[in-house]
C-alpha cells in the first residue's frame, strides 16, 4: 500500500503545505517556504547609503605663489554624501582657499583634490563648476533689479539646464518649494525680499541644475537667528533627504553644532615662528676723516 505523507494546513489560506520528510528530519534539512523566500529576497535587495567620499583632499598643500608661506599644509579630509560638513577655524587658516580648491577655481601646489575618485585637476573644471557643484555666498550674489524667476533662470542657462520657458517655470516652482518660499514669489524682485528670503533664493538658484555638492561660504553671516535656523533646516533636508554633500564654512558655533562632521582647519595650519626684531645698526665710529 502506498504511504501518504501527512500535511499541515496553511492557517491563512487553508492550503496544504508539505510536511518534512524523514530524510529532512535525519539530516536537519529545512524546507524553505514561499514566505521565507520572499523575506530573503527583500532583505537581499535592501541597499545601504553610499558613504564613499564625493570630495576628498589628499595631502593637499597650497601657496599663492612660489616663495610665500603655505596657506594649507598637507591637508587630508573626506566629504561624504548624505551629510552636512562644517569647516571651521580662525581667520587666516585657509577656509576660503580650501573652498576654491574644492570648487575647481584653484589647483593645489601639491597633493590631490578628488571628485568621486577622479583627480579634479585633470577634469574639465569649467563643466564641473557649471553642473556638479553649487556655491552659495554670504552676500547672496543675486541681481536685485531682476525677479526671482529671472535670477534662477539665468543660472539654469549658464549650467546648460535650460530647456524652454515652460519647463524652466516648473523647475523654478519646484526649487522654491524646496526652500519653503510660496509660488507667488516667482515674480517678485530680489530687492523686495528680506535677507533670509534672498539667501533662500540663492539656494534655489543652485538647486535648479541639481548639483551633487553644495558649498556654502558663511551662508548665515548676514542673517538673524530665525533666518539662520531656516537655512540650516534647508541644508539638513538637502543632505538627508536628497543625498547631497553639503559643505559649510562658518564662524557660527550654532551652525557647526548642527552639522554631522566638523573639520577644524586650524589643525593643519603651518606654524611659523615670529621673526626676530632686527638689531638697530650701530652708528659708525668717527674716524676724523673729512
Strand partners, 288: none
Could you tell me the residue ranges of all domains in the chain?
80-92+124-263
The DSSP string of 163-190 is --HHHHHHHHHHHHHHTT--GGGGG-BG
Q: In this predicted structure, what is the pLDDT of residue 48?
A: 57
pLDDT tier at 138, thresholds 50, 70, 90:
very high
- Rounded to two decimals, what is the model's pTM? 0.75
What's 80-92+124-263's CATH class?
alpha beta
CA distance 78 to 39: 36
The string of pLDDT tens digits covering residues 21-58 is 444 444 444 444 554 444 444 444 444 556 789 999 99
Residue pair 83/137 in contact (Cβ under 8 Å)? The answer is: no
Query: What does pLDDT average to over the chain?
Result: 82
The string of pLDDT tens digits covering residues 144-179 is 999 999 999 999 998 888 888 899 999 999 999 999
CA distance 256 to 264: 10
Comparing 7-16, 69-78, 136-145, 204-213, the range with the smallest average pLDDT is 7-16
CA distance to 262, 276, 280, 287, per residue, from 283 (Å): 56, 21, 9, 12
Asked if residue 287 has pLDDT above 70, the reply is no
Residue pair 228/262 in contact (Cβ under 8 Å)? The answer is: no
CA distance 120 to 117: 9
Amino acid at each position: 500500500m502506498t504511504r501518504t505523507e501527512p500535511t499541515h494546513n496553511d492557517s491563512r489560506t487553508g492550503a496544504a503545505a508539505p510536511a518534512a520528510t524523514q530524510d529532512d528530519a535525519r539530516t536537519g534539512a529545512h524546507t524553505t517556504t514561499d514566505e521565507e523566500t520572499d523575506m530573503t529576497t527583500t532583505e537581499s535587495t535592501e541597499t545601504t547609503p553610499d558613504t564613499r567620499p564625493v570630495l576628498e583632499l589628499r595631502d593637499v598643500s597650497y601657496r599663492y605663489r612660489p616663495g610665500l608661506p603655505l596657506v594649507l599644509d598637507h591637508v587630508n579630509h573626506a566629504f561624504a554624501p548624505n551629510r552636512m560638513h562644517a569647516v571651521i577655524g580662525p581667520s587666516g587658516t585657509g577656509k576660503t582657499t580650501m573652498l576654491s580648491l574644492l570648487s575647481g577655481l584653484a589647483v593645489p601646489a601639491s597633493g590631490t583634490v578628488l571628485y568621486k575618485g577622479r583627480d579634479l585637476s585633470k577634469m574639465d573644471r569649467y563643466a564641473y563648476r557649471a553642473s556638479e557643484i553649487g556655491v552659495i555666498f554670504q552676500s547672496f550674489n543675486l541681481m536685485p533689479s531682476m525677479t526671482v524667476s529671472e535670477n534662477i533662470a539665468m543660472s539654469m542657462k549658464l549650467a546648460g539646464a535650460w530647456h524652454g520657458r515652460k519647463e524652466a517655470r516648473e523647475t523654478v516652482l519646484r526649487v522654491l518649494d524646496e526652500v519653503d518660499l510660496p509660488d507667488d514669489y516667482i515674480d517678485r524682485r530680489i530687492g523686495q525680499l528680506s535677507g533670509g528670503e534672498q539667501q533662500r533664493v540663492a539656494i534655489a538658484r543652485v538647486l535648479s541644475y541639481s548639483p551633487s555638492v553644495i558649498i556654502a561660504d558663511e551662508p548665515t553671516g548676514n542673517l538673524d537667528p530665525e533666518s539662520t535656523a531656516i537655512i540650516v533646516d534647508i541644508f539638513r533636508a538637502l543632505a538627508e533627504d536628497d543625498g547631497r554633500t553639503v559643505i559649510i564654512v562658518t564662524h557660527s558655533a550654532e551652525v557647526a553644532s548642527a552639522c554631522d562632521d566638523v573639520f577644524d582647519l586650524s589643525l593643519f595650519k603651518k606654524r611659523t615662528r615670529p621673526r626676530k626684531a632686527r638689531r638697530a645698526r650701530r652708528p659708525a665710529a668717527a674716524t676724523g676723516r673729512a
